[in-house]
A and B are shown apart, each in its own frame.
Chain A
């Protein structure tokens, strides 16, 4: 029996739904797991069941799973408490490992975000910013950060959301007494079955306002590589794994849509914004012609100070 505490910070709950999507295997694993804290499913309260405590508390657990990055003071407080209470801490999902989509917010200042939300939006009657000093709400931070910028993280499971296979693998490893899980450091291209002719392409980069060429009756391995077709597919700089452990085609590609990078950089510390320039040049495209280069290449990995407002 392993005790588990789970928390979500600056997140959307997609990771929690991915846990449920483990499906029948989860039902089989349940007798070996004891969830002591998981707000999406269990009513354990930070301040005691009748609101009597002054300080936020979380029960002790062997394994702590945290999804979402850190955007405010409550996220940080919960994260630190989880680290303190749990022996092994898992960062679940690309928000937790690299900032994820919400870290696109780092391209704007917090004040710009508040100005639009509370004064400039077409439906809003202008009002004050939320006041964390007077009321019991958290202080919003200037940027979105990943978990390892604040505490030691033992296992990182990227993905937006992570494929249930990887979550299962992590849980099984922990039940087996292991405290690490090394994910393959391969790119989406390494697992993509589309046809590559390795010829330099001509023409302009395409946006998904255009339809790629493919025969819907034929399998995905009959389709020409989307990057070679001129689409800004992020396969070369994105960690493989979105289709789980079955070895099937990357899921966006299977749907005939280019990869958008939701598993984050191929390995820790890699910089897609730099590496992609090389990938585009090899197929003959001019990276300077990319629309919204920073927004594309840091879509899921804007923490670790990668994305900052310019000027």
Chain B
């Protein structure tokens, strides 16, 4: 991994408090300044290959094992791609139940990420000793808050599990709709939990705005700051931030954008291969190439909450919209500071709760018509796309006459952000390491630029 003028390599592995398996290396020259830095993904699992030959309706139960923190998103994107292959559209209630599960899965994920994975850096400080810089440390530092966090995450997670059967690696959505209707008492129970979660999400953002972000404004504005493009989903009618069904919007680093339909993704996204990591680098196809130069990146775009907040014209729900206005007046559009992902995450949390409440108040949500009775397998092609917590998720399948998968192409959130995470590490390392001086606090601050994405 070394370049010719490398005198020393610092190896940081594993990257911790993230979902996944990564390490990074920082190469220093003779005088101890950073020559280069790279983040590598360690595992090749091959889902795209081994779903080939499987019945397309079974893939939804296989690909949810890509990620145990966001299994719902893979499950639902797969159902959407299978719908396309089979040439069907779910009945409205089936579609709404899927979206509701999508929102309910987002809520504990965002709580987990903000408080368990990211907060230790902010509550205890990036320089705090590694042995206390974790959720147990947060419990020690802010016990009442921690208790509330654990309780809220667990409550939403269990409410979804009670309704959907399995919350980790779900099985409830099926091609053509949803496996069973929602009963009125289930609706009421979920609504009560969602109202509580909405209060908690508003509290969380206010707490962070008062106690967390102001304290670290210097770090936010200096670490992991670089211009890039952004990709996210918007509602076609008004450009509002959308998580489940919409159109994709690709924004360049100056804020100009193009909007396109899911099945056109190949016109906008290409993937580059490097020999030093197992993860590919998706980039803006129209740029013609990708360059990982942190001062002048080419073809690089990012996904996940900050990207969504940047590309959308507005939030889709009222309380979230108020918060977006405050955010934009402080940081502009597009905002390029990587650590602002944590801020954007909490604005999105509010929209997820508000949207779940809207869906649960929709009389159609308890309709009995939730899935097609019988679907004939056939040859086809489908692109299933939605926003996962970590960013845009694209599942593209082709099937044969018997409905067996013949091709699967997956462009997943961590992939989209591969270039961004690499640039963040490089920019932060160059900003923070001079004359060979560094310590675990400095290395952890660099790691925060990876953690912000929740890879």
Contacts and interface: CB of A to CB of B under 8 A. Distances in A.
Interface string A18-56: 101101100100100001000111111111011100000
Given A140-B278, A291-B55, A251 B158 contact: no
Nearest to B68: A14
Interface string A144-188: 000000000000000011000000000000000000000000000
A42 B117 CA distance: 9
Given A47-B11, A209-B176, A295 B48 contact: no
B14 A45 contact: yes
Interface in B427-441: 438-440
Contact of B181 (A216, A242, A295): A216
Contacts of B133: 43
Interface in B1-34: 1, 9-14, 16-21, 23, 25-26
Interface stretch (A191-199, A255-263, A276-284): A255-263
B42 A72 contact: yes
B172 A43 contact: no
Contact of B183 (A12, A140, A216): A216
Interface string B393-423: 0001000001110010101000000000000
B1 A136 contact: yes
A213 to B, nearest CB: 10
Interface of A: 8, 10-18, 20-21, 23-24, 27, 30, 35, 39-47, 49-51, 71-72, 74, 100-102, 104-105, 107-108, 110, 112-114, 116-118, 121-131, 134-138, 140, 160-161, 207-211, 214, 216-217, 242, 251-252, 254-257, 260, 262, 291-292, 295-296, 299
Contacts of A114: 44
22 contacts: A11-B68, A14-B67, A15-B68, A17-B168, A20-B154, A35-B136, A41-B135, A49-B443, A50-B438, A72-B44, A104-B51, A107-B50, A108-B52, A123-B269, A123-B271, A123-B409, A124-B271, A127-B274, A136-B40, A209-B403, A251-B166, A292-B53
Contact of B273 (A125, A137, A214): A125
Nearest to B147: A27
Given A127-B272, A129-B275, A44 B16 contact: yes
A220 to B, nearest CB: 10
Contacts, number: 277
A2 to B, nearest CB: 15
Interface stretch (B320-328, B335-343, B366-374): B366-374
B78 interface: no
Nearest to A249: B165
Nearest to B283: A125
A209 B169 contact: no
Contacts of A262: 169
4 nearest A-B pairs in the assembled complex, by CB-CB distance: A127-B273, A14-B68, A255-B165, A113-B46
B169 to A, nearest CB: 6
B440 A49 contact: yes
Interface residue range, chain B: 35 or more
B69 interface: yes
Contacts of B276: 130-131, 134-137
A254 B170 CA distance: 12
Contacts of A104: 50-51, 54, 62
Contact of A118 (B167, B266, B273): B273
A10 B50 CA distance: 15
A51 B443 contact: yes
B273 A74 contact: no
Contacts of B57: 207-209
A116 B44 CA distance: 12
Interface string B57-89: 110011001111101000000000000001000
B384 interface: no
B169 A161 contact: yes
Contacts of B176: 209
Contacts of B12: 45, 47, 51
Contact of A137 (B42, B48, B49, B66): B42
Contacts of A254: 165
A14 B49 contact: no
- Of the listed residues B46, B130, B275, B372, the one surrounded by the most CB atoms of chain A closer than 10 A to its CB is B46
B11 A51 contact: yes
Given A43-B447, A135-B1, A209-B375, 5 more contacts: A41-B134, A41-B135, A47-B12, A107-B53, A292-B58
Contacts of A140: 43-44, 278
B350 interface: no
B19 A255 contact: no
B135 to A, nearest CB: 6
Contact of A23 (B46, B154, B270): B154
B157 A21 contact: yes
**Max chain A Cβ within 10 angstroms of own Cβ: one of B154, B169, B375:** B169
A40 B277 contact: no
